[in-house]
Structure 1
């Protein structure tokens, strides 16, 4: 099941980043300015971020099997159609649609991992499926560059769209929740549940209160620790969205790299981010098994990672290709360490609001997908990319401070009075 989610994430990020590979050629063919490209880069983020809370609510309501298949098929269709865009408005609209259909995916991912894995294995599981975005981009970015080189940016969008469309049907055929999987026995279900896993669809659970209420949304927005995590996620996503949008353009247009060569060099930071993520996930679970507190085990790798990611500014003081890629890889390695942060959703959220909390968490983090591409588009319009890298470095510093000073004791948010009443109606 984790392998299926891993492939979902790979396809998800290929369809987010294909525009960055196509950007230099596409902007020339469609006569788009850097400001317009910044807006197009951000279009995905507008709908994706704004629909995170509804996406989280939907993830709490509908099963992963049907909902994920729907998302895969619909966002793949909009990806394919981007190959037929003829101007700013059409491309902007299709990127909005892609973001909208991808919106429920990470809340679904978190719900799947919470259903299939006990607490002591969850950070490793999250690290493994999130690594799909970096492994996919590392190994397939050169492939995407080659496809565009021979078939144009139109062929790039059509190819990636067709791959996702096919995978949507494969997902529906193979995925099952723990209670529905024929190879899962009672002992495994007991192991998951005793370890804090939430078995989806368990029939003997008491009725849960409705999540479609203002009091639930208020709860996940009023917790100080959650706010610290939200700010930290914004910082991590700022680094991520630089690499998903402007990074190839930075190498080709502002550093003079050969287009085909840039495809291979661009894969190095993604491999570094994957290494940081996996090291962080397994280290965090190792610390838990060694008896360290949840706060120390979960926060320490993230704080270290955010501090390391400030090193992106070093690329401003480098002129040779090796040094530039080194600082980029080091910074993305640090960001990768921080991306086990999804583990806090299942730790901190009320049990009946995991999807909603995941939606808010992803909404706050993905505001960076709106802000960062647009701000960079304005910062670099004069032809100098140095202010953009300083901007990313400052955001990373803010994220580290957020985890140090705002994220306090790590404990599950208390149940609301409504939830308590629903479970104990005779005690009211």
Structure 2
């Protein structure tokens, strides 16, 4: 009888056989992990946006007026932004597996409890809790991609999990509307919250770091490490010889002595400051579509609700294609020998410039032409959604969580600023003309930040 395998899977049959052959076909465990991230991201966005679907029935039953409901909507972004840096520090301290499981469990509980609320105070508290609980999600996504993927595949990986944001909204909204019609608005929170709780258990059961994953053979680990992966747990930049992910993380944290001053030091680096501005710009376009887009179609374009339901799907599908195209194009450029500056920045700059064409919707009369323009702008926003790939490329060793938290904080300020500015413009002018102009100008500012501020894409040394 063969001796038992070690806990680290160093001598699994697949790896031993590969060693014997001298040439081992690479396993694809990293794509399984990527699938987990994509599903988790899709659930994340369903949880944060399901309130918008429930709002018509919810506001009538709870007696909430439009102004108060706007405050409830914004509560998510306030706590989400404020918790970004603490969430990043928590991630650096406790690692990807535990942080993501705890985050998903807590945000799913906040969603589930919203189905029981009877007043605005409880609803407001749930939204604050939801925002805080979701804060480590995208920093963890970035950390997992940096750990599991070589640099040449990170844009593809980032694009793949990011597309979950759009797929969930585009394809599950009809189901959620039907569910609400049959069982009432509370059922939405029960179902979406329960799905998140179950998937949290799936994540805990299936996620492993590369060196501990039973499906990852030695050829895949070597491929990932040779391409710059495993940086969190190998800590090559820190010259750490520690064995195992948790030890490497703790040593890295101890080496850098994390404190709040680190955030200021990072923000003074042009690479991080520039991509923060660019991501704010890209997220402004995204937030417009998540908040004001249906209202724009109903009030500015005078579309019937049935037509809105049909047309509203188109830009989200376009954005999904844009995300995948941007990631694939970036990685293709890198494989063709282009520098990280060209391969990473070109799709983002092109996407932000193209997103600014949203203003052209002000000058066409045809609803079909308007949807085409908006779909093009949202496709471009998806194409520009590669900022997290750059976070993986520039974060100092052992500080990916903190860097990602700062980046996500800046990016999600758009969730506070954009809805408020658009609302003020529409209230003052009675039209979306200048609101679309505002979104277009912000996109141009984001492109300028990548052209003139970011500089070389290289790991920050502190």
TM-score (norm 2): 0.84
Q: Distance in 2 between matches of 1:215 and 1:50?
A: 16
Provide the residue aligned with 2:8 in structure 1.
Answer: none
Following superposition, the deviation at residue 377 of structure 1 comes to 2.9
Instruction: Note if 1:138 corresponds to 2:186.
Output: no
1:241 to 278, 284, 287: 287
1:63 to 90, 95, 102: 95
Does the Cα contact within 8 Å between 1:379 and 1:387 map onto a contact in 2?
Answer: yes
Specify the structure having the higher radius of gyration (Cα).
2
Provide the residue aligned with 1:295 in structure 2.
Answer: 341
Q: Secondary structure at the match of 2:386?
A: helix
1:147 to 176, 179, 185: 179
Structure 2 residue ranges without an equivalent (≥5) = 1-32, 235-239, 243-247
Aligned residue pairs total 415
Instruction: Note if 1:266 corresponds to 2:312.
Output: yes
Larger RCO, structure (CA 8 Å, separation 6 or more): 1
Provide the residue aligned with 2:442 in structure 1.
Answer: 395
Q: Distance in 1 between matches of 2:84 and 2:395?
A: 16
Q: Secondary structure at the match of 1:407?
A: coil
Provide the residue aligned with 2:241 in structure 1.
Answer: 204
Does the Cα contact within 8 Å between 1:14 and 1:160 map onto a contact in 2?
Answer: yes
Q: Secondary structure at the match of 2:399?
A: helix
Following superposition, the deviation at residue 323 of structure 1 comes to 2.4
User: Could you give the per-residue CA deviations for residues 94-144 of structure 1, whole angstroms, max 9, x where no partner exists?
Assistant: 111111100000010011111110111111111111111112222112222
Instruction: Note if 1:116 corresponds to 2:148.
Output: yes
Provide the residue aligned with 2:48 in structure 1.
Answer: 16
CA distance 1:309–1:133, change in 2 (3 Å): same
Following superposition, the deviation at residue 215 of structure 1 comes to 4.5
CA distance 1:268–1:259, change in 2 (3 Å): same
**What are the residue-to-residue correspondences of 1:20-419 with 2, within 5 Å?**
20-198=52-230, 200-202=232-234, 204-205=241-242, 207-208=251-252, 209-381=255-427, 383-414=430-461, 416=462
Structure 1 residue ranges without an equivalent (≥5) = 417-428
Following superposition, the deviation at residue 63 of structure 1 comes to 2.5
User: Could you give the per-residue CA deviations for residues 162-218 of structure 1, whole angstroms, max 9, x where no partner exists?
Assistant: 211221111111111112211222332222111101255458337321452244323
Provide the residue aligned with 1:420 in structure 2.
Answer: none
Q: Distance in 1 between matches of 2:183 and 2:437?
A: 36
CA distance 1:252–1:95, change in 2 (3 Å): farther
CA distance 1:320–1:29, change in 2 (3 Å): farther
Provide the residue aligned with 1:419 in structure 2.
Answer: none
Q: Secondary structure at the match of 2:427?
A: coil
Q: Secondary structure at the match of 1:380?
A: helix
Which range moved further: 242-251 or 357-366? 242-251
Q: Distance in 2 between matches of 1:402 and 1:350?
A: 21
Following superposition, the deviation at residue 151 of structure 1 comes to 3.0
Q: Distance in 1 between matches of 2:298 and 2:423?
A: 15
Q: Distance in 1 between matches of 2:220 and 2:100?
A: 24
CA distance 1:405–1:241, change in 2 (3 Å): same
Following superposition, the deviation at residue 26 of structure 1 comes to 3.5
Following superposition, the deviation at residue 296 of structure 1 comes to 0.9
Q: Distance in 1 between matches of 2:391 and 2:364?
A: 38
TM-score (norm 1): 0.91
CA distance 1:375–1:24, change in 2 (3 Å): farther
CA distance 1:11–1:41, change in 2 (3 Å): same
Q: Distance in 1 between matches of 2:283 and 2:457?
A: 22
CA distance 1:132–1:256, change in 2 (3 Å): same
Does the Cα contact within 8 Å between 2:315 and 2:371 map onto a contact in 1?
Answer: yes
User: Could you give the per-residue CA deviations for residues 380-411 of structure 1, whole angstroms, max 9, x where no partner exists?
Assistant: 33543333222222211211111111111221
Q: Distance in 1 between matches of 2:314 and 2:56?
A: 20
Which range moved further: 366-375 or 278-287? 366-375
Which range moved further: 206-215 or 388-397? 206-215
